[in-house]
Amino acid sequence: MQRGLATRGLQKAEVRITKYFIDRFLLNFNSFIQIKNEEKAMGAKKRAMGAKKKGASRGSEDSEELGQVPLQAILLADSFTTKFYPVTLERPKVLLPLVNVPMISYTLAWLKSAGVKEVFVFCCAHSKQVINYLETSGWFCQPGCFAVTAIESHASASAGDALRLIYERDVIHGDFVLISGDTVSDMSLTQVLQEHKERRKKDNNAVMTIVIKPSQIMTHQSRLLGAGELFMAIDPSTKQLLCYEEKADHAKESIFCLDKSLLVGKSSISLHNDREDCYIDICSPEVLSLLADNFDYEDLRHDLLNGLLDDDVMGYKIFTHEIDSSYAAKIDNFRSYDAVSKDIIQRGSYPSMPDIKFTEIGHGTKIADNTEILSSVIGEGCSIGSNVSIEGSYILDNVTIEDGCKLKHAVVCDGVVIKSGAILEPGVVLSFQVVLGEQCTVPSYSKISLFQQPTELADDYSNGIAEISRHINCNVNKPNEVGTGGAGYVWSICDDEWRNSVAPIPADKLAEVIRTTDGSSLTPSGEVKLESSDSEDSDEDTSDFENEVEATFLRAVHENIKLEHVVLEVNSLRLSSNKETAICAGAIFYSMMKLALEAPHDSASELVRAASRVISEWKHLLKNYLSDIDEEIEVIMKFEEMCLESAKEFSSVFDKILYQLYDQEVIQEEAILRWVGEKTDADESDRIFVRQAETFVQWLREAEEDDEE
């Protein structure tokens, strides 16, 4: 099929789809939240660490006046990192497009929908670009009670500096939301704000609440390969955060030390390394005051959070609020950029537009014949030639891709020209205006920019960014780097560049990480009982594990992931959750049968055929976890459980699907007969499916006797 022609014909429809899912994702989160009674203003402890600062003298006499202060937010529009180099040398990360919309728009739209009335956007690197976007896009003149104000600084070198400057401006008058412009969410703030205010009424030292969520699909893998491993200790009765420690993604050891003083006066403590920090915080003004008095606090987690946790003078406390069904994600690197982009497309288009669920094409883009585009986002005004192959890539605006080019899992910025026959191997990043010559092949994970690589990588905020290196002339490039007629410098990269790339993790790298972490990392989470060693959460842990396996399996189905990669991903989940192989086999079979159940069917026979097809397609994955008879029996017992509880539609065809498992050599005869034998003395209610399968079992026994004769 000539995919180029088909894709070109969809462009007008896809423009409408773009507006459809952006409206749905950005604006239709939750109904607007009316915050009626803001927490009374802070009392005498406005000063942090005992230092007298501007506004610290505000006492109880002002609290009534501040009781009705509209909800405010501080949005940091600077990442203060280099993870998106060389792209962020020329454009701030918050203006990079997520499915053709600058990511800061998602954050602002969510804040508006969540009931925030006033947002202060802090701009540092490329501040003029951010302010210009806010002006031209209309965020500065929103209708209703939603005010956006930019605070510009060229001297701030960290998030701590930014908040100290905001403190000096004296614009925050009550509890506020603290967030960065690279965060996408649809959560309601109602409950977390209410919890924060109720705690403040009882304890004025409860100055901060951070939003966390359970790790979802692929997050164990991303924790190992992207953002590092996060360990938290939480008081389960009060949700107070007691310990917060991060390990770098390249750390070889995952050893965490817990101060025994944290155990004093507590009946139990929950330990977690299966939770993600959403980087959405509810803060009281004391947080800003504390930063003002500690000029060495730069990072909001490493310095501020741990500073509050370690403080034994003022006794400040941090609490957690966990979300389950809501969405929240921070775009920390190219890998999370890829994941969040896919989430937005899927959430916005499914189920109404399933056919283009993984591809988005911007307005004005032209695509020639015989061109294939898979699982990619194409910006506006691009020109794509014939016989081009693009897979898993992010093409920004006004990009030219000539005939015969091949791009796989790449990021291509505005104005790039890729001449005919060029090849981008997985993980390549082409920054703005780069030109690749004809037949040029760019190796995996390469980064090319019109700016020379700094001798020492400075952070995004350094000296206006673009001034750190000279813009180059096409003639100074070596032909073997970017091809004849090309323009750009090829940056040197580190050995672990694959960790933070949009490209899928190489199977050998993932296997290596799993081997090095096996046995050395924490179990995902657990509660340290000080009076009892009984575990009451094992069933819940198993259910969470099954949900993660199902999510991994469905991702493999929809994205056509290779079997060996799926096995590695499932193994990483199994190791991180400390689950036996039999539990893993049951979880995979459960996922397979749920997939079969979702297939269109009007009769029991059609359901059996659907199950047979799923078994045939995925039996090799399942058999990776069926190394002995006990694990095969676990699969049969899991199917029994499904038929009685979560998938009762299978109950009438249990025996027929059991036969399919036998016929396709997934379950051995011995496993079936042992399962029947174990049910001999069971109650009649536990023998429902044994009786249903009597004919099949009798046939197996007779066949066995014939073989013996």
Of 2 and 184, the structure prediction assigns the larger pLDDT to 184
Q: Report the share of the chain in percent with pLDDT over 90.
A: 16
The reported pLDDT for the residue numbered 37 is: 33
- CATH 2.160.10 residue spans of the chain: 359-454+479-504
3-state secondary structure of 652: helix
Q: pLDDT tens digits, residue range 595-605?
A: 888 888 888 88
Out of 81-85, 213-217, 225-229, 541-545, the most confident range is 81-85
Q: Which residues of 50-62 are buried (b: 16+ CB within 10 A; e: fewer)?
A: eeebebbebeeeb
CA distances from 123 to 79, 146, 152, 429 (A): 10, 19, 5, 25
Answer for the pair 58, 430: CB distance below 8 angstroms, yes or no. Answer: no
Quick check: 212 and 321 in contact, CB under 8 A? Answer: yes
The mean of the pLDDT values for the chain is 76
First to last CA, the chain: 57
478, pLDDT greater than 70:
no
Residue 570 burial class via C-beta count within 10 angstroms: exposed 0-12, middle 13-18, buried 19 and up: buried
Residue 708's identity, in one-letter code, is E
State yes or no: pLDDT of 34 exceeds 60: no
Evaluate if residue 92 carries a pLDDT over 80: yes
- Mean pLDDT value across residues 114-131: 89
- Structure-token pair, residue 46: 């406005």
| Contact between 212 and 301 (Cβ < 8 Å) | no
Short-list 576, 672, 578, 588, CA closest to 625: 588
How far apart are the C-alpha atoms of 166 and 465, rounded to whole Å? 23
- Least Cα distance to 185 among 110, 76, 105 occurs for 110
Residue 709 scores a pLDDT above 80: no
Residue 385: per-residue pLDDT: 94
- Segment 68-80 shows an average pLDDT of 84
Q: Confidence class of residue 4 from pLDDT cuts 50, 70 and 90?
A: very low
Where in the sequence of the chain do the CATH 3.90.550.10 domains occur?
72-249+265-334
Domain 541-708, CATH number (from 3.40.190.10, 1.10.3720.10, 1.25.40.180, 2.60.120.10): 1.25.40.180
Whole-angstrom Cα distance, residue 28 to residue 109?
A: 10
CA distance 187 to 22: 16
Percent of the chain with pLDDT over 70: 74
pLDDT confidence of residue 1 = 33
CB-CB contact of 404 with 410 (8 Å): no
User: Which residue pairs, CB below 8 angstroms and at least 24 apart, start in 391-398?
Assistant: 392/338, 392/502, 392/503, 392/504, 393/424, 393/502, 394/337, 394/338, 394/341, 394/502, 396/97, 397/97, 397/362
pLDDT in tens, 266-318: 677 788 877 888 899 999 988 888 888 888 888 888 888 888 787 766 788 88
**Residue 94: pLDDT over 80:** yes
| pLDDT on residue 706 | 62
| Residues comprising the chain, all counted | 709
CA distances from 166 to 120, 170, 636 (A): 9, 7, 61
**Hey, what CATH class is 72-249+265-334 in?**
alpha beta
Strands 229-234 and 268-272: antiparallel
- Summarize pLDDT for 353-408 with one digit per residue, the tens: 333 346 788 889 999 999 999 889 999 999 999 999 999 999 999 999 999 999 99
The residue to which tokens 């010559």 are assigned: 437
* Angle CA 201–243–116, to nearest 5: 45
What is the DSSP code string of 66-127?
HTTPPPEEEEE----S-TTTTGGGTS-GGGSEETTEEHHHHHHHHHHHTT--EEEEEE-TTH
Q: From the centroid of its chain, how far is CA 245?
A: 19
- Which pLDDT score, from 0 to 100, does residue 176 have? 92
Instruction: List, by residue range, all CATH 1.25.40.180 domains of the chain.
Output: 541-708
Average pLDDT over every residue of 466-477: 38
Least confident of 130-144, 299-313, 686-700: 299-313
The token duo for 433 is 């205006």
Distance CA(302)–CA(297), nearest Å, equals: 8
Cα–Cα distances (Å) from 159 to 210, 230, 243, 286, in that order, read 17, 20, 21, 16
Mean pLDDT of the region 144-160: 83
Question: What is the bridge-based pairing of β-strands 176-180 and 360-361?
Answer: unpaired
Q: How far apart are CA 399 and CA 362, in angstroms?
A: 12
Q: Are 699 and 665 in contact (CB under 8 A)?
A: no
Name the 3-class secondary structure at 35: coil
Place of tokens 């049969």: 636
pLDDT digits (tens, 9 = 90+) for 320-337: 999 887 888 888 888 888
Tens-digit pLDDT profile for residues 638-679: 888 888 877 788 888 888 888 888 888 888 888 888 888 887
Overall average pLDDT of the 178-187 stretch: 89
DSSP string, 305-328: IHHHHH--SS--EEEEEE-SSS-E
Q: Look up residue 591 and give its amino acid.
A: S
508 within 8 A of 225, measured Cβ to Cβ: no
Residue 227's pLDDT is 54
Give me the sign of the Cα torsion angle 638, 642, 644, 645.
positive
Most confident of 215-224, 411-420, 506-515, 552-561: 411-420
pLDDT at 679: 79
The amino acid occupying position 504 is P
pLDDT at 704: 65
**Do 596 and 622 meet the contact criterion of CB atoms below 8 Å apart?**
no
The domain made up of 359-454+479-504 is a member of CATH 2.160.10: yes
Q: How far apart are CA 283 and CA 291, in angstroms?
A: 12
| pTM reported for the whole predicted model | 0.66
List C-alpha distances in Å: 276 to 251, 282, 409. 18, 16, 26
Higher pLDDT, 53 or 239: 239
Compute the chain's Rg from CA coordinates: 28
Q: What is the pLDDT of residue 538?
A: 52
Mean pLDDT, to the nearest integer, of 554-566? 82
Residue 130, pLDDT > 60, answer: yes
Q: Cβ distance 407 to 394 under 8 Å?
A: no
**What pLDDT, in 10s, does the model give residues 415-467?**
999 999 999 999 999 999 999 999 999 998 999 999 888 775 444 433 333 33
Each residue's pLDDT tens digit, 497-552: 888 888 887 776 666 665 555 444 444 444 444 443 344 445 556 677 788 888 88
Percent of the chain that is helix, strand, coil (3-state, to 5): 45, 15, 40
Sheet holding 372-374, edge to edge: 372-374, 389-391, 406-408, 423-424, 441-442
Helices 694-708, 654-663: axis angle to 10 degrees equals 30
Which pLDDT belongs to residue 366?
93
Render 396-426 in DSSP notation, one character per residue: -TT-EE-TT-EEES-EE-TT-EE-TT-EE-T
